[in-house]
């Protein structure tokens, strides 16, 4: 709990004066004012977050948190839970979607076992910080204890602290956990007070009948556990997931260390939502990568108050969207760093 508390105490809003300085720098570039749209916003915010008007973006790392879910026994996913460790091994071999897209963007993928129901051998690229062998079925009781939820958050915070020491310039979130769209829907329903139906979708691709069942199961879990909407840690504990907690921690730790954090799709945004409910300034440090096909994503984004960069109809997770967005964010920063000013280029200004 201590690491969580000290981290929350460290988080500050991004400095408005730095944002204005970065914008002034952009306004001297050889282009009509504001003409690079959201790329300018990206460059400006990246500079203000890091406190550097020519920030380094080279060392990009995606942390893909993996965890299992007791709720899978209710038939909420199309796939069996064994796929979680199988996909972890696929990540380590470099064969998954996130590996391909991270290579494309020049980012590294690190897999974090924070709660998989499988004993992995140590391997390069695998960080074993297991808090429990999966959550318990939240339709029958609390998914975790409060201590487990805090421990998993602190795994993410510690990784952000280590990233700072290592000189990592941008972190991304990703996840793997069969069944994890269900806790993600439960989290946004509990926090925003919307209906489960409004925020529950097909995940890996379940049909109509299974979707009805999934809605009923999530509703039963919320009715039984009665998470306190004002207490994000209570929501996370009762209906969340270990990898979602790890992501919340990474986001909090990134904000505390002034590292820009790129948040992937639906499940990652559930983690970012928990973090931003814990501290309102967290949103200043977040770049949301893309709009997920999962219908509840919009509600999460609105609640956090962020607008994604891409809309590619993705619904995979793992950090795939974050990997793509990292390249775009780097492009925005390069505009700030490399583009000539009117004076340098001898171009007449308006
Ligand atoms: C082969 C495979 C690779 C994946 N990579 C990410 N997910 C995604 O799907 C899961 C969530 O959907 P649901 O709640 O319906 O189980 C998560 O593991 C998420 O990361 C995958 C799913 C599968 C099957
Ligand atoms: O948006 C996501 O991250 C997502 C959506 C469906 C299934 N898995 C992940």
Q: Is the CB of 132 under 6 A from ligand 1?
A: no
Pick the catalytic residue: 294, 318, 330, 344?
318
Secondary structure of residue 69 in the 3-state scheme: coil
Give me the pLDDT at residue 330, please: 98
Checking 192-199 for CB contacts under 8 A at 24+ apart, the result is 192/299, 192/303, 193/229, 194/299, 196/222, 198/295, 198/296, 198/299, 199/295, 199/296, 199/299
**Which residues, at least 6 apart from 183, have a Cβ–Cβ distance to it below 8 Å?**
69, 71, 135, 138, 143, 239, 240, 241, 244, 270
Among 348, 343, 289, smallest CA distance to 319 is for 289
Q: Ligand 1: which atom is nearest the Cα of residue 86? A: 1
Pure H helices in the chain: 2-10, 16-27, 37-50, 83-93, 97-105, 146-166, 181-192, 196-199, 208-225, 232-239, 242-257, 266-278, 297-304, 320-338, 342-345
Q: Tens of pLDDT along 183-197?
A: 999 999 999 999 999
Give one DSSP letter per residue of 152-187, joined into a string: HHHHHHHHHHHHHHHT--EEEEEEE-TTTHHHHHHH
Q: Tens of pLDDT along 273-283?
A: 999 999 999 99
Secondary structure of residue 311 in the 3-state scheme: coil
Q: Is the CB of 204 under 6 A from ligand 1?
A: yes
Give me the pLDDT at residue 328, please: 98
Give me the pLDDT at residue 1, please: 74
Is the CATH code 1.10.1610.10 the one for domain 1-54+336-345?
yes
Q: Which residues of the chain form CATH 1.10.1610.10?
A: 1-54+336-345
How many Å apart are CA 245 and CA 249, to the nearest integer? 6
Compute the distance from residue 176 Cα to the ligand 1 centre, in Å.
Answer: 6
Show the ligand 2 pocket: residues with CB < 6 angstroms: 181, 203-204, 264-267, 292, 294, 315-317
Q: Tens of pLDDT along 329-348?
A: 999 999 999 999 999 999 99
In the predicted structure, residue 45 carries a pLDDT above the cut 90: yes
Written out in words, the top-level CATH class of the domain with range 60-329 is: alpha beta
The arrangement of strands across the sheet holding 261-263 comes to 126-128, 107-115, 60-67, 170-176, 261-263, 286-288
Compute the distance from residue 22 Cα to the ligand 1 centre, in Å.
Answer: 39
Return the ligand number nearest the Cα of 78. Answer: 1
Q: Ligand 1: which atom is nearest the Cα of residue 184? A: 14
Return the ligand number nearest the Cα of 321. Answer: 2
Nearest-Å Rg of the Cα atoms of the chain is 20
Compute the distance from residue 1 Cα to the ligand 1 centre, in Å.
Answer: 30
How many Å apart are CA 303 and CA 68, to the nearest integer? 26
How many Å apart are CA 31 and CA 186, to the nearest integer? 46
Give me the pLDDT at residue 220, please: 98
Q: Tens of pLDDT along 145-164?
A: 999 999 999 999 999 999 99
Q: Is the CB of 85 under 6 A from ligand 1?
A: no
Give me the pLDDT at residue 244, please: 99
The mean pLDDT value of the chain amounts to 98
Q: Tens of pLDDT along 297-332?
A: 999 999 999 999 999 999 999 999 999 999 999 999
Q: Is the CB of 66 under 6 A from ligand 1?
A: no
Whole-number percent of the chain with pLDDT over 90: 99
Contact criterion met (CB below 8 Å) for 168 and 314: no
Compute the distance from residue 265 Cα to the ligand 2 centre, in Å.
Answer: 6
Give me the pLDDT at residue 350, please: 87
In the predicted structure, residue 204 carries a pLDDT above the cut 90: yes
Give me the pLDDT at residue 267, please: 99
**Which residues, at least 6 apart from 111, have a Cβ–Cβ distance to it below 8 Å?**
64, 66, 88, 91, 92, 125, 126, 127, 176
- Mean pLDDT for 50-71 is 98
Give me the pLDDT at residue 76, please: 98
Q: Is the CB of 265 under 6 A from ligand 1?
A: no
Contact criterion met (CB below 8 Å) for 140 and 74: no
Confidence tier at 249 by pLDDT (50, 70, 90) = very high
Mutation pick for ligand 1 pocket among 82, 176, 267, 320 (CB with most ligand atoms within 8 Å) = 176
Q: What is the dihedral of CA 240, 243, 245, 246, to 10 degrees?
A: 180
Pull the structure tokens for residue 296: 């509840």
Query: Any catalytic annotation for residue 166?
Result: no
Whole-number percent of the chain with pLDDT over 70: 100
Q: Tens of pLDDT along 63-109?
A: 999 999 999 999 999 999 999 999 999 999 999 999 999 999 999 99
Q: Which residues of the chain form CATH 3.40.50.10210?
A: 60-329
Give me the pLDDT at residue 161, please: 99
Give me the pLDDT at residue 272, please: 99
In the predicted structure, residue 130 carries a pLDDT above the cut 90: yes
Compute the distance from residue 181 Cα to the ligand 2 centre, in Å.
Answer: 7
């Amino acid at each position: 709990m201590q690491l969580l508390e000290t981290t929350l105490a460290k988080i500050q809003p991004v400095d408005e004066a730095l944002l204005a300085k970065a914008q002034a720098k952009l306004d001297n570039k050889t282009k009509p004012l504001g003409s690079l749209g959201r790329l300018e916003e990206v460059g400006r915010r990246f500079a203000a977050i890091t406190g550097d008007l020519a920030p380094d973006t080279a060392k990009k790392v995606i942390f893909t948190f993996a965890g299992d879910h007791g709720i899978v026994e209710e038939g909420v996913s199309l796939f069996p839970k064994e796929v979680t460790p199988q996909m972890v091994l696929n990540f380590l071999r470099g064969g998954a979607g996130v590996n391909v897209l991270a290579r494309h963007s020049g980012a590294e993928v690190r897999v974090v076992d924070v709660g998989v129901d499988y004993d992995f051998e140590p391997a390069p690229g695998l960080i074993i910080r297991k808090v429990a062998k999966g959550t318990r079925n939240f339709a029958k009781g609390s998914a975790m204890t409060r201590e487990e939820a805090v421990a998993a958050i602190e795994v993410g915070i510690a990784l952000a602290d280590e990233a700072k020491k290592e000189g990592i310039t941008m972190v991304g979130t990703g996840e793997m956990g069969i069944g994890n769209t269900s806790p993600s829907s439960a989290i946004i329903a509990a926090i925003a007070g919307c209906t489960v139906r409004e925020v529950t979708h097909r995940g890996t691709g379940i049909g109509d009948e299974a979707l009805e069942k999934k809605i009923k199961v999530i509703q039963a879990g919320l009715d039984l556990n009665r998470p306190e909407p004002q207490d994000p840690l209570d929501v996370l504990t009762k209906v969340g997931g270990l990898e979602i907690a790890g992501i919340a921690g990474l986001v909090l730790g990134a904000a505390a260390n002034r590292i820009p954090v790129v948040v992937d799709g639906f499940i990652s945004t559930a983690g970012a939502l928990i973090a931003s409910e814990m501290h309102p300034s967290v949103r200043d440090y977040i770049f949301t990568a893309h709009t997920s096909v999962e219908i509840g994503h919009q509600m999460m984004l609105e609640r956090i108050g962020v607008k994604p960069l891409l809309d590619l109809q993705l619904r995979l997770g793992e950090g795939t969207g974050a990997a793509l967005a990292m390249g775009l964010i780097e492009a925005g920063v390069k505009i700030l760093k490399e583009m000539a000013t009117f004076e340098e280029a001898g171009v007449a200004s308006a």
